[in-house]
Structure 1
Amino acid sequence: MGPQRIVCLTEETTEWLYLLGEEHRIVGISGYTVRPRRARAEKPKVSHFLDGRIEQIVALEPDLVVGFSDMQAALADKLIRAGLNVLVTNQRSVRQIFDTLRLVASMVGAIDRAERWITGCLARHAQIAAAAAAWPRRPRVYFEEWDAPMISAIRWVSELIGIAGGDDVFPELAAQPMGRDRVVADALEPARRAPDVIVGSWCGKKFRPEHVAARAGWADVPAVRDGELHEVKSAEILQPGPAALTDGIEQLHRLFAAWAARHGAG
């Protein structure tokens, strides 16, 4: 049986339950949910990322509320104090994302369906990695999660960059779980690391490649010189769930494959 009335405070749990065919269990979602599109029309929007409508959530009588990360600790505390069962996951790596998907699936009795999906996803990742292994060169990649301050890629994004055929220029920052610890303090450091491709995903706002290209001291960066500044929408790469493992990595791979075709032999 498992929980019958679930409130999802972040998008990845909503998308996962829809993929598993268990969307009937969802009674409330985050207002930031865009995947799947139909969820916005079908489910009440009861939370933002950092806070939520506590009375409305309680009125839905959920038997489980699912959130993500320390960023929702204050919201989770309010809901716990309101007497609700709350699960907050904290997945930061690709492996942890898969493990979290399995955990949610097990709670709703859908582990077989989950394993089939995960097996297919892992097989596709292997295909992508094998294709990238044939390239003469891999692009050096600067992934920017935010622009002011500049924040580099979180761990799962860095790992997906690697599977997709690129090399993250800030691997040491990717190892840091907190956004504040992934701030690039020196505005010239990304330029010094000479990325071939810059990917922007400015969590909730439009990436402006022209602003990046105009940064002082960045004119000679290979990515700027060659016009290799691209956007991957945050909903497709910065939520630690199905989207990043499918659409996110596919977009990265297409960008890197195109770069390899244009520049890889040089």
Structure 2
Amino acid sequence: MVNASRIVSFLPSATEMVCALGLGDRLLGVTHECDYPPEIAGKTVVVRNVLPIETMSQPEIDSAVTQRLRDGLSLYRVDETLMREIAPDLILTQELCQVCAPSGNEVSQLLKVLPSQPQILWLTPKSLEQIFDNLRDLGEATGRSHIAENLIAEGRARLEKIEAAARAAPSRPRVFCMEWMDPVYCCGHWVPEMVRIAGGIDGLGREGTDSVRIPWQDVLQWKPEVLIVMPCGFGLEKAADQARMLASYPGWADLPAVGDGRVYAVDANAYFARPGPRVVEGTELLAHLLHPGLFEWKGPPGAFRKLG
């Protein structure tokens, strides 16, 4: 299918890609988490959380999510009535993470009630290159391949520029990107790659695969020189607020990053957690935090905050 004209996105990252390709007018349904770019305000919301995570603590969220997944239950509710009305010809979803968005089971159920069968584009990247591949696939499905290729070329050029400049750094600091605080999760998928390009080493991250729960003792043993708090699904304010709990963790004050004042909260939703176009800016942000003498941050001031 080319020139899909009735698009529904089950992913904030896919929503960003659709708009980057100049197709915001074709986007007829989004999720409750889709908040960028501003032009999508007022779009019909067809997917919502089952859990009231806005009022839950980190341990409560972790426990409830784990239990629902163990029971084979979804974390999302798709509005089938709205989906029938929209009658999409293209649905953008994923199989990467059941916590991040509706995945296979929900989509299978949905297809049974739609008046016509849409094309399903599965966006399941585990690396920066695969994020670019997703953008290319979306361009092909919507007749915007030339725009997609231009965006990919620009993104690659920016990443290559960061990587080349980072080679001039006198050292590569030990980094820990914390994707959840209670319990502690390391980063995964494309984030360790972003750190590497930006001139750091996250020895606890899992490049190309899932982030996982790790013992706090592992962080103490790694002795990160830069610690970046990027809880999945959080913007800057919530990340910075939740990060206050870290001061009570045993050995916190002894970490080099804490002693040197190099602990930061970041807007994870904008720059790290969503596999969309802004991961390039996220890599630029990491480069600034790791090597501020080499890299200037030219993005929004609300992208990060120094903690402590």
- TM-score, normalising length: structure 2: 0.77
2:111 to 52, 71, 80: 80
Q: Residues 194-213 of structure 1 correspond to what in structure 2 (within 5 A)?
A: 194-205=223-234, 206-207=238-239, 208-213=242-247
User: Does residue 7 of structure 2 align to residue 6 of structure 1?
Assistant: yes
Report the equivalent of 1:239.
274
Of the three residues 135, 140, 148, the one matched with 2:169 is 135
CA RMSD of aligned residues (A): 1.9
Alignment partner, residue 264 of structure 1:
none
Contact 1:91 1:240 in 2 (8 A): yes
- Give the AA of the match of 1:73: G
Q: Deviations over 1:26-62 (max 9, x none)?
A: 1011110121022123x21211363321221221111
1:55-89 deviation digits (Å, cap 9, x = unpaired): 21221111111112241233212222224433322
Matched, 1:59 2:85: yes
Give how far 1:141 is off. Answer: 0.8
1:188–1:217 CA contact under 8 A, matched in 2: no
Q: Secondary structure at the match of 1:35?
A: coil
Per residue, is there more helix in 1 or in 2? Answer: 1
Q: What letter corresponds to residue 220 of structure 2 in structure 1?
A: A
1:259 deviates by 7.5
Residues 1:111 and 2:112 are matched in the alignment? no
Q: How far does residue 260 in structure 1 lie from its aligned partner after superposition?
A: 7.5
- Counterparts of 1:192 and 1:260, CA distance in 2: 28
2:136 aligns with 102
Post-superposition CA distance 1:204-241 (Å, at most 9, x none): 34223332233112221111111211122122210011
TM-score by length of 1: 0.89
- 8 Å CA contact 2:126–2:208 kept in 1: the answer is no
Structure 2 counterpart of 1:213, one-letter code:
A
Q: 1:16 to 1:120 in 2, by over 3 A?
A: same
Structure 2 residues not aligned, in runs of 5+: 50-75, 296-308
| In structure 2, distance between residues paired with 1:143 and 1:260 | 20
Which ranges in structure 1 are unaligned for 5 or more consecutive residues?
Answer: 262-266
Identity of paired residues, percent? 29
SS of residue matched to 1:258: coil
Alignment of 1:1-266 (within 5 A): 1-41=2-42, 43-48=43-48, 50-69=76-95, 70-71=97-98, 72-83=103-114, 84-85=117-118, 86-171=120-205, 173-177=206-210, 179=211, 182-184=212-214, 186-205=215-234, 206-207=238-239, 208-236=242-270, 237-245=272-280, 247-258=281-292
Taking structure 1 as reference, are residues 175 and 97 closer, same or farther at Cα in structure 2, changes over 3 Å only? closer
